[in-house]
Amino acid sequence: MDKVIVAVGSTRRPKLEAVREALAILGPSLDENAQFDIAGVEVPSGVRHTPLSREDLMEGARHRAEVLVQIAREKNEPWKYFIGLEGGIDVMRENAHENGARHAFLESWAYVTDGAGRGAFGQSGAVVLPELLTHIVVDQGVELSKAIDAFAGGRGIRDAQGAWGILTCNMIMRQDAFRVAIINAFAPFFNRAMYASGDKRAGA
């Protein structure tokens, strides 16, 4: 059985477990004869501690994956896939008007690349933040991980259920959100026929 090593740009348990769970589901579709292992490496996101836009979330996820690719090339690591994961907030105005109602959505994003030019984003879905938490994080600039601890009266929440768990009464955990994002990001890899046909139609 071939061994496929997947590099992940984090050493945090919820992120690594999310990758493990995602690979258990999608791994056979990538390679039914492979055994998947995970290498967690702490790398910078290249964006602010709590991203406040979809663009920042996507950039953070991509940056983590691209740093892993660089590390693999420099150290000759046998990693086949590279995953960057980024959680944060997407702040938007209703109807795109400056005076429109402001909404802040908690989102989890993934970027997967094979390091050879193929890459794709995946997103978890979103849950709206309470106004008070939005004010603390967006307006006062407090890091989300610290704000959610104070908001919920706990410690180390991001390494447990995360803000996702707090906001959904543990119906969706941080790990769950990242698992969905990872599966979505891998879709062009394990469903190549569909995405290839889409590329052909677009170029027709």
Residue 117, domain CATH? 3.90.950.10
**pLDDT recorded at residue 141:** 94
Cβ-proximal residues to 111 (8 Å cutoff; 6+ apart), any chain:
58, 61, 62, 64, 65, 83, 84, 119, 120, 121, 122, 185
Could you tell me if residue 204 is inside a domain? no
pLDDT tier at 95, thresholds 50, 70, 90: confident
**pLDDT recorded at residue 75:** 97
Could you tell me if residue 199 is inside a domain? no
Could you tell me if residue 104 is inside a domain? yes
pLDDT at 51 over 80: yes
Could you tell me if residue 45 is inside a domain? yes
- Using a pLDDT cut of 90, give the percent of the chain over it: 84
Helix (H, G, I), strand (E, B) or coil at 83: strand
CA dihedral 40, 42, 43, 44 (to 10 degrees): 140
pLDDT at 193 over 50: yes
Could you tell me if residue 201 is inside a domain? no
Q: Given phi > 0 = left and psi -120 to 50 = alpha, else beta, which region is 55? A: alpha
Stated pTM of the model:
0.92
Task: Tell me how many domains the chain contains.
Answer: 1
pLDDT at 26 over 80: yes
Could you tell me if residue 58 is inside a domain? yes
Distance of alpha carbon 130 from alpha carbon 156, whole angstroms: 20
Give the dihedral sign, CA 115/119/121/122: negative
Cβ-proximal residues to 49 (8 Å cutoff; 6+ apart), any chain:
143, 144
Provide the 8-state DSSP code for 10: -
Which range (86-90, 95-99, 178-182) has the least confidence? 95-99
| Beta strand 119-128 pairing with 102-113 | antiparallel
Could you tell me if residue 144 is inside a domain? yes
Could you tell me if residue 203 is inside a domain? no
Structure tokens at 20: 């493990």
pLDDT at 202 over 50: no
pLDDT tier at 199, thresholds 50, 70, 90: low
Under a CB-based contact definition with an 8 Å cutoff, are residues 175 and 18 in contact?
A: yes
| pLDDT tens per residue across span 144-180 | 999 999 988 888 898 899 999 999 999 999 999 999 9
Domain that residue 7 falls in? 2-194
**pLDDT recorded at residue 198:** 52
**pLDDT recorded at residue 204:** 43
